Structure 1
Amino acid sequence: MRVLLLSAYTAVSHRHWVRGLTERLHEAEWTLLELPPRHFRWRIRGNPLTWMLKEDATLAQEYDVVLATSMVDLATLIGLYPHLAHARKIVYFHENQFAYPAAKEQKPGGEALMVNLYAALAADVVVFNSAYNRDSFIDGARAFLKRLPENLPAAKPLERLRERARVLPVPLDPVSDTLSDTSSETTLDPGAAPLASSGSRGNPNGGGRIVWNHRWEYDKNPEDFFAALVALSERGIGFELAVMGQRFRDQPAIFAQARERLSRHVVAWGPQPAEAYRALLDEADIVVSTTWHEFQGLSIMEAAQRGALPLVPNRLCFPELYPLAYRYDGSREGLIDRLEDWLIRPESRPPRLDMSAWTWPALASHYRRLLMP
């Protein structure tokens, strides 16, 4: 089976997904075309032209499956290479542009929205990494089409798309250090909220290590995260802080301000080598998200897989992924209250989560059936 794998904006989570597919599904003969994650507006609209000019010989070949991320302008690419229409066309949505948080400097224009929509309509199979991703795409597309000059009858086609769409998360790589009390673990169902196993780690005298391992960008809402930690520090509550994740040339000013104000708590700051990153997660007690923009949240899952307790807002994809005990109300005050409780009363913390059902060994068969129905 020959598979053309197209990733038009290869961000970290996209690269992780591509590597997992090509390394673990050996039944396929993979041909991979990727583009770097920069110049977003050009990339999402110009990827067919870029590939046509650089990869014409590759695109001219015959394939059984074309598997593309939602950033790929699949409809235009098929117009340029009509023979690709005969392949099984699958579009995978890591995210969708209809649910991108409003920001003057990064808000997607109509062309990015249309690329997502045309790709879904041109595909034989559409796959989302979470139900929230699917529903926010369908609902966002309907709202977008209502704003257009013509009153297009879009409701029924979009609902048919919702009904036939699949939900299949990006799998985690398995870790060698599994949970110690395997007799009491509960295997998670990726189609439902994770259930907790017994046993958790934490300093019985209070305190703990808090981790941030997200992109250093405004949509991850670092303001609420650091404001909560500053409030806890001013109350004299002890904790350690590891701030990691991907950062860019332009980053929110709050990071520099927070490093100065929280310096006595900091044990790590900035991106880490892979081994050091894993070691810091292994020693973490709590991993926090304050984001306004999340469709699955691999960084939270990675930390939870290694034993940190996730504390996530009660919005976006999180209600479908984590039980209520791991969610706060989404407000800054709610985050402060929950962190204070977990830090000074370790016995109040919920048990750690068993993430094994979200790993490649558990999900590889689902991807095989996707490619070879």
Structure 2
Amino acid sequence: MRFLMLEAYYGGSHKAFMDGLCQHLPHTTELKTLPARHWKWRMRSAALLFLKDIEEIEAYDAVITTNMTGVADFKALAGPLCPPVFLYFHENQFDYPPSPHSGHDLNPALTDLTSALAADCVAFNSEAHRIRFLKTASEVLSRFPKPDLLWTLEAVEKKSVVLYPGCDFALFLNGKKDFSIKPRCIVWNHRWEHDKNPSDFFDALSEIQRKRIPFHLMLLGARHAKIPEVFNKAMAVFKDHLVYSDYPSKKEDYARLLSKAHICVSTADQENFGMAVAEAMAAGCLPLLPARLSYPELLPEELHPFLLYKNREGLVSRLEWLLSCPEKELEKLKGLSSWILRFDWKESLVPLMQALEGMVLARPSSCSEMIRK
């Protein structure tokens, strides 16, 4: 088969997913991308920009894209020769926390809805994401004037599947981590943006600092040119704890730094899979995560009481324990670097291939054959 891959926001988890698919799919792939910036403009313009660069849309067996491309626009403008479209949701705009500097804009959310309706197969990157999309979309659409649009969600649900994104863990699996080292090192390897809720993270560190519990700190997450002020303040407050603060340009350097950390903390308000946490776990870090979003799916259920927290008090008390307890008390938490391999490309590729090939083969004939008939 021949797949046309479209990524309108080629960066972060979007880039990793598309690159991994191109590398691992046993089919011919052709990838077209747009830079990872101006995301709202990408959602509105990507279909036009991609179609301008496609000579024969009917030459492909399927199109694979993510929700940064307006699929309804793409299929309408591509016309009847358009092959089936596989839509992958990394995030959705019905529940994406609005920036503190802007109001809530429903246009991207409605683009997500029409994209899901127009796509032939809709995949979410976790079960929590699929459930939350349907729930938050229902809440938003219920506020619209009658007649309502709730029927659209039934249509989306019928063709939706959960497909975890494949992860490439090869660089992170570097042997047993030494938890006898003190002070232990906490790592933040998430994007430096408001939806990752860095304020709660640094508030918890302030409490740990006030209790005079020693720790080291690494800040590795991706960032834009304009850094949120909370990070500038934190780098001053925790300067005596900070051992690294940059985003390595090479993945090998990023993996090497993760190998030196012990505890990966998330305080995110929005996370639909958790690629950064999965990579830290593969590198041997113990994750400390909120008991919400997709995070419970990343851990074996028996470890939820130890590594998931429900509120700020739970975050501080769990973090204090992970920093202070003897190494032998952590034995029951080790082995996560093996557990997380269930999300490696070797495991994730099979259900992805089944969904893609099933979507294509479900058609009685190709679009071009249908037109000729």
| TM-score range for the pair, normalised by the shorter chain length | 0.7 to 0.9
Secondary structure of the structure 2 residue equivalent to 1:76: helix
Secondary structure of the structure 2 residue equivalent to 1:216: coil
State the match for 1:150 in structure 2.
Answer: 146
Q: 1:58-114 deviations in whole A, cap 9, x for unaligned?
A: 5x44211111111211111111111344x2221111111111113343555222111
Q: Give the alignment partner of residue 234 of structure 1, picking from 210, 220, 226.
A: 210
Q: Is the 8 A contact 1:309 1:326 kept in 2?
A: no
Question: Aligned-pair RMSD on alpha carbons?
Answer: 2.1
After TM superposition, what 4+ stretches of structure 1 lie above 6 angstroms from structure 2? none
- Structure 1: how far apart are the matches of 2:256 and 2:128? 31
Q: Give the alignment partner of residue 321 of structure 2, picking from 327, 341, 347.
A: 341
Asked if 1:161 corresponds to 2:138, the answer is no
Correspondence list, 1:88-103, <5 A: 88-103=84-99
Asked if 1:82 corresponds to 2:58, the answer is no
State the match for 1:283 in structure 2.
Answer: 260
Could you tell me which runs of 5 or more consecutive residues in structure 1 were left unpaired when the two chains were aligned. Answer: 181-198
TM-score (norm 1): 0.87
Q: Give the alignment partner of residue 309 of structure 1, picking from 259, 269, 286.
A: 286
State the match for 1:18 in structure 2.
Answer: 18
Q: Give the alignment partner of residue 112 of structure 2, picking from 113, 116, 124.
A: 116
State the match for 1:188 in structure 2.
Answer: none
| One-letter identity of the residue aligned with 1:370 | A
Could you tell me which runs of 5 or more consecutive residues in structure 2 were left unpaired when the two chains were aligned. Answer: 359-373
| One-letter identity of the residue aligned with 1:364 | L
State the match for 1:46 in structure 2.
Answer: 45
Q: Give the alignment partner of residue 360 of structure 1, picking from 313, 323, 345.
A: 345
* Alpha-carbon offset, residue 47 of structure 1: 1.4
* Alpha-carbon offset, residue 18 of structure 1: 0.7
Q: Give the alignment partner of residue 129 of structure 1, picking from 118, 125, 128.
A: 125
- Structure 2: how far apart are the matches of 1:92 and 1:28? 18
TM-score (norm 2): 0.87
State the match for 2:167 in structure 1.
Answer: 172
- Structure 1: how far apart are the matches of 2:226 and 2:149? 42
State the match for 2:68 in structure 1.
Answer: 71
Instruction: Go from structure 1 to structure 2 and tell me whether the alpha carbon gap of 1:118 and 1:135 turns closer, same or farther (over 3 Å shift).
Output: same
State the match for 1:183 in structure 2.
Answer: none
| One-letter identity of the residue aligned with 2:20 | G
- Structure 1: how far apart are the matches of 2:128 and 2:322? 28
Asked if 1:33 corresponds to 2:32, the answer is yes
Q: Give the alignment partner of residue 57 of structure 1, picking from 29, 45, 55.
A: 55
% same residue = 35
Q: Is the 8 A contact 1:312 1:326 kept in 2?
A: no
Instruction: Go from structure 1 to structure 2 and tell me whether the alpha carbon gap of 1:235 and 1:287 turns closer, same or farther (over 3 Å shift).
Output: same
